[in-house]
Structure 1
């Protein structure tokens, strides 16, 4: 009897094992919930966005190649006025230009914070970067409306609203993201890379440019992509300075629009199930597709960098 009781006690799961099993179950349920939510969002947006093509019978060429955006009306040749090309071009232009302007400043700031003056950089620049992250989008938009738009109007001409004003606003908004991720990438470069370079006679700047930055290139590219994803999906701040004109941008100072600015301006003024509403959902589907593309690009860059190492 005693042997049987001892065997049962030994076979009985301990309290720690039960807690571990409970924790794994909770983690699995959380993972499944997140997957269900993500898949549900994708299915919902896709079903709404594809209604423009399957229910309203709008051709893909009309939507992605058309330049006239006025859902509910038809052109003289009988086509629906749902050309999204101006907004797509505007979104890509303002995103790419913001990334091009922000990247040199971000890399320079990150190099100063990690390689040149780590103590002073951490003491001064890191709080400033964190402060920029915490500022709401509407504040950036209001500052852009009050400062950037008049500056662009005075220096470059035009009304001041357009791609250039949106670029300046987004440049400040995505700068903290690129800086913080670039700092992490530079810090992850092993110290013996620097020591070996200096031991071979290289100067500090040669070590930074030839060794550290090259080793951190995958991480820097990931930071740039994340910044572009933030810029591509930004709505309110861009809407306040870009002009919200659904026209093909002829230059950087002419009023334009982006996918997000048209969505935020029109979503509350349409009837669910109408062509106008379906067309807006199609724009949302394009945004979702671009978000997935940016995420896949980040994973690709990360895998390529890991392979090189």
Structure 2
């Protein structure tokens, strides 16, 4: 009987000892589940709000979706009002692509320098400086572009200096930390033994970099470029200050243009909710949201290739 009582006391003490841990585990699960639900609900609410507002242009105001996407004229105050968003779409894509073409080689070369050539001093001094660029407000980039880049382009090339090229240069500096950070992490996580095997076969350091390192990490490098393009595609203030905000398709890199974000920020505060002009601006926001989903899809595809 005494042994049975002792065993019962041990069992009760053990269960009492386990109860707090079980309680903490359930609290953690419930808290995590609630946070996930809030996150999903927020995303769905944003998508529903933007989509309902953006689709009102076609459902309520009767604007043809083809005319909006391919129209060359944007005149919301005209009789009748004309909503052609192709100049804004062209401006957003051209500045983002050109900025990625400028920033991608710089970011990848900086990552190669910090991880393959001088990993000690490079990552100790150069990486913090590059990452510091990500914390600078966009208005500062726009002011620097307006004060430095635009006068420089005006002095060298024809035109006033504002335009596609000025906006692309500002965006290239802004997305440089994103591309460099992702490229640095990809190159630093290279599987061990690849470089050593290449060196053992007699390859030089540069041959190892462009024949082994870069092909192996190419999907991750492209992921950084795509994320940089997504960052550039959604930027508003810095581009708005240097691109000129002219609603037409430019014939050269030195002519004024406009983007989806600049058109929204310049006009949204001057329109009345529910009007055709306001709904058309929400349609531009819906185009931006759709392109964000496209960029995320491309990143996911590249990540799957990288895992393979």
The alignment's TM-score, normalised by the length of structure 1, stands at 0.95
Aligned pairs for 1:1-309 within 5 A: 2=5, 13-74=18-79, 80-307=81-308
Tell me, in whole angstroms, the C-alpha distance in 2 between the residues paired with 1:6 and 1:177.
57
Q: Is the 8 A contact 1:72 1:275 kept in 2?
A: no
How far does residue 190 in structure 1 lie from its aligned partner after superposition?
1.3
Partner Cα distance (2:56, 2:161) in 1: 37
Q: How much has 1:72 moved relative to structure 2?
A: 3.6
Stretch deviating more after TM superposition (224-233 or 117-126): 117-126
Unaligned runs of 5+ in 2: none
User: Contact between 1:65 and 1:84, CA under 8 Å: does it hold in 2?
Assistant: yes
Contact 1:263 1:284 in 2 (8 A): yes
RMSD of Structure 2 on Structure 1 (CA): 1.5
User: Hey, what's the Cα distance between the residues in 1 that align with 2:43 and 2:76?
Assistant: 29
Deviation for aligned residue 1:7: 5.8
Cα separation, 2, equivalents of 1:183 and 1:123: 13
Q: CA deviation at 1:4?
A: 6.8
Separation (CA, whole Å) in 1 of partners of 2:12 and 2:46: 49
Decide which moves more: 276-285 or 8-17: 8-17
Structure 1 runs of 4+ aligned residues shifted over 2 Å read 1-13
SS class of match (1:249): coil
Partner SS, residue 42 of structure 1: helix
Following superposition, the deviation at residue 191 of structure 1 comes to 2.4
> Which whole-Å CA distance do the structure 1 matches of 2:114 and 2:59 have between them?
53
